[in-house]
Amino acid sequence: MYSSTIRRSPPGGGMPARSSLGAAGAAVAAAEEKDAELEVTPGGMVVQKRDPDAAPPAAVVPTIRLKVKHGSAYHEIYISSQATFGDLKKMVAERVGMHPLDQRIIYKDKERDSATFLDTAGVKDRSKLVVEEDATAKAKRLLEIRKNHKMEKAAKAIAAIARDVDKLASKVSALETIVNKGGRVVEEDVIRLIELLMNELIKLDSVVADGDAKQQRRNQVNRVQAYVETLDRIKIKNSAPKGNAQPKQQQNREPKPQRRVQFQQQQQQQPVIVTTNWETFDSLLIPSTSTATITVAPPATTTRLDWELF
């Protein structure tokens, strides 16, 4: 007879038993860690354990309800008690469609500044405020908008003119390079460029600018004027004769003759005799005549001056 011994393994086998033990240990460890993060309040509630080293939680800012009157209508607005009147104006603008800068908020018969905090001014829950339209502020804002619009329009116009001037500047530079190298350019091209640049000056003069746009316009005017002056110099150089033509022109010129002018002063005069007769009228019977003769001789030398004109 043969005898056999049958060994029965535990349910699930040996190795699975060890795995189940490991999983159970991990679950216990996780539960212990979770228990370490929780605590029981005096009221019996299980809450997360607080860290004693952590900063205390910030106080909750209360939200208040305000009753805002605009015209004959009332609006309830919920806002933080630590907000400013400027923040309140933005919320009012969403309700009534009035720009925040055009609003005047009155609280306790006094207009409040936009930078003032609600709690500082004493605004509390269910406080009543009045919102009115500030006509002066609205007009000022509209003028500022119009001014900014004009500045933007002027800046765009000046930028467009500057792009046109850039295109003309490249042509001016090309002509200047040719002339400086001794070449010649078509005079009509130079005149045409000058006319185009003058048209750009007229456009710049018609732009109404202020502030930064005014300075930009002045810079472009100076730039265009400089290009016009450059074209004037190009025109002069282009119309001037070349270097080999100058000697020939000088040869064709007739030399100026040296004229010799002679001035001769000759005094060929007869001797001059001056006679003075002295008469006395004391007695008619005895005439008395006294004659004095003075002879003036002509000059002995002849002066001759030779003048040469160059």
Domain shared by 196 and 267, yes or no = no
Please state the rounded mean pLDDT for residues 34-49.
64
Instruction: State whether 170 and 101 are in the same domain.
Output: no
Q: What is the mean pLDDT of the chain?
A: 75
Is residue 121 in some structural domain? yes
Mean pLDDT of all residues in 142-154: 91
Q: Is the pLDDT of residue 17 over 90?
A: no
- Secondary structure in 3-state letters for the chain: CCCCCCCCCCCCCHHHHHHHHHHHHHHHHHHHHHHHHEEECCCCCEEECCCCCCCCCCCCCCEEEEEEEECCEEEEEEEECCCEHHHHHHHHHHHHCCCHHHEEEECCCCECCCCCECCCCCCCCCCEEEEEECHHHHHHHHHHHHHHHHHHHHHHHHHHHHHHHHHHHHHHHHHHHHHHCCCCCCHHHHHHHHHHHHHHHHHHHHCCCCCHHHHHHHHHHHHHHHHHHHHHHHHHHHHCCCCCHHHHHHHHCCCCCCCEEEEEECCCCCCEEEEEEEECCCCCCCCCEEEEEEEECCCCCCEEEEEECC
Considering the domain architecture, whether residues 160 and 208 belong to the same structural domain is answered as: yes
Residue range 62-85: mean pLDDT, rounded: 92
Structure confidence at residue 105 as a pLDDT band (50, 70, 90):
very high
How many Cα atoms occupy the beta-carbon half-sphere of 55 within 13 Å?
3
Residues 176-200, mean pLDDT to the nearest whole number: 91
The pLDDT assigned to 217 comes to 93
**157 and 124 part of one domain:** no
Residues 96 and 179 in one domain: no
The residue among 134, 152, 178 that closes a domain is 134
Domain containing residue 122: CATH number: 3.10.20.90
Range of the structural domain that residue 271 is part of:
260-304
**pLDDT (average), residues 62-88:** 92
Q: Does the pLDDT at position 309 exceed 60?
A: no
The verdict on residue 230 lying in a domain is yes
Task: Give the end of a domain, one of 85, 102, 134.
Answer: 134
**Is residue 149 included in any domain, yes or no?**
yes
In a domain, 26, yes or no: no
User: What's the token pair of residue 1?
Assistant: 């007879």
Phi, psi angle pair for 111, to nearest 5°? -75, 135
192 & 229 share domain? yes
Q: Which of 199, 109, 215, 216 is nearest to 159 (CA)?
A: 216
Question: What's the pLDDT score for residue 266?
Answer: 46
One domain, residues 213 and 300: no
Averaging pLDDT over each range in 14-18, 108-112, 206-210, 246-250, which range is the top one? 108-112
128-133 and 63-70 beta bridge pairing: parallel
Please determine, for residue 191, whether its predicted confidence score (pLDDT) is greater than 80: yes
CA distances from 36 to 41, 117, 302 (A): 14, 44, 148
pLDDT at 249: 47
pLDDT category, 247, cuts 50, 70, 90?
very low
Tell me, what CATH number does 207's domain have? 1.20.58.120
Task: Give me the pLDDT at residue 261, please.
Answer: 43
Mean pLDDT, rounded, for 85-112: 93
Task: Tokens for 88, please give them.
Answer: 């309140």
- Are 174 and 229 members of one domain? yes
- 225-253 average pLDDT score: 73
The per-residue pLDDT for range 134-143, each reduced to its tens digit, is 999 999 999 9
Lowest mean pLDDT: which of 169-178, 179-188, 234-243?
Answer: 234-243
Q: Looking at the structure, tell me whether residues 104 and 76 fall in a common domain.
A: yes
Taking residues 81-107, report their average pLDDT: 93
161 inside domain: yes
Give the per-residue pLDDT at 210: 84
- Name the domain boundary from 89, 107, 134: 134
d(CA 184, CA 257): 38
Average pLDDT, stretch 58-63? 75
In a domain, residue 42? The reply is no
Number of domains in the chain: 3
Amino acid at 241: P
Domain membership of residue 148 (yes or no) is yes
Task: Reply yes or no on whether the pLDDT at 80 is more than 50.
Answer: yes
The confidence score (pLDDT) of residue 167 equals 93
Q: Are residues 157 and 192 in the same domain?
A: yes
Over pLDDT 70: what percentage of the chain? 59
pLDDT recorded at residue 183: 86
Please give the Cα distance from 247 to 250 (Å, whole number). 5
Q: Do residues 274 and 228 both lie within one domain?
A: no
Residues 181 and 212 reside in one and the same domain = yes
> Could you tell me if residue 29 is inside a domain?
no
